[in-house]
Amino acid sequence: MAHTFEQIFENNEQWIAEKLSIDPDYFGKLSKGQNPEYLYIGCSDSRVTAEDLMGAMPGQIFIHRNIANLVVPTDSNINAVVQYAVEHLKVKHIIICGHYECGGVKAALQPSDMGQLNNWLQTLRDVYRLHQAELEQITEEKARFDRLVELNVQEQCINIVKIDHVQKMWYKTGFPTIHGWIFNVRNGKLIDLKLDILEIFGEVRKIYDLKPLG
């Protein structure tokens, strides 16, 4: 654990030494470029350490993180990330990874003025609105919170399908495949929700379909 700025740079020196002791050309190889097969979209939460919990090596996963792992259509950041990942890196998989005990999801359940977060969390509150009937049947608060985390992942997977760059690559190559995951921060387990996004999206997908536009 780095407690001071100095320690962070000391840790970095130690990390370099470790990498070089395993492979003297580690950074030579790293500097040649990246060829990741996965785009991972997860929460900014400091406990959800993407590469670490997946046991991934540098170069393997293209990563985007924001509060509550949202795919907001007007967010130019995520649109640029998705376009780059799909068109240039040609990733085979896009993963949306939510996590239990997500502060963003919790905040969305509590009506209050949170400044800039009001706008951001509106997407989450819309997920609640879409699934209000199911969520309000769950009497236990913690179980309802967990379910909203899962439904949020599902809805963000659907938002990925709406993106033109994703659709265009799909029609061309059949990729990328979309996956919805949860990181269970209580025991460290990564859970694949095994969502069939096209099935869930269903008939209404036709109005989002960009194919007629070429």
Residues that bind Co ion (CB under 5 A): 43, 45, 102, 104
Minimum CB distance to Co ion smaller for 43 or for 169? 43
Give me the amino acid identity at 161: V
Count the helix, strand and coil residues of the chain and give each as a percent rounded to the nearest 5: 55, 15, 35
User: Closest Cα partner for 205 from 161, 164, 169?
Assistant: 161
Minimum CB distance to Co ion smaller for 44 or for 173? 44
In the residue annotation, 45 being an active-site residue is answered as yes
For the bound state, the minimum distance from the C-beta of residue 47 to Co ion, rounded and expressed in Å, comes to 8
Minimum CB distance to Co ion smaller for 85 or for 102? 102
Catalytic residue among 97, 102, 146, 179: 102
| Pairwise CA distance, residues 126 & 204, whole Å | 17
Token duo for residue 96: 């949306």
Token duo for residue 81: 């990330």
Alpha carbon 45 to its chain centroid, in Å, reads 11
Catalytic residue among 64, 99, 157, 179: 99
For the bound state, the minimum distance from the C-beta of residue 98 to Co ion, rounded and expressed in Å, comes to 7
* Helices 116-130 and 141-162, packing angle to 10 deg: 100
In the residue annotation, 102 being an active-site residue is answered as yes
For the bound state, the minimum distance from the C-beta of residue 133 to Co ion, rounded and expressed in Å, comes to 25
In the residue annotation, 157 being an active-site residue is answered as no
For the bound state, the minimum distance from the C-beta of residue 195 to Co ion, rounded and expressed in Å, comes to 19
Minimum CB distance to Co ion smaller for 104 or for 176? 104
In the residue annotation, 146 being an active-site residue is answered as no
User: Closest Cα partner for 95 from 81, 74, 109?
Assistant: 81
Catalytic residues: 43, 45, 47, 99, 102
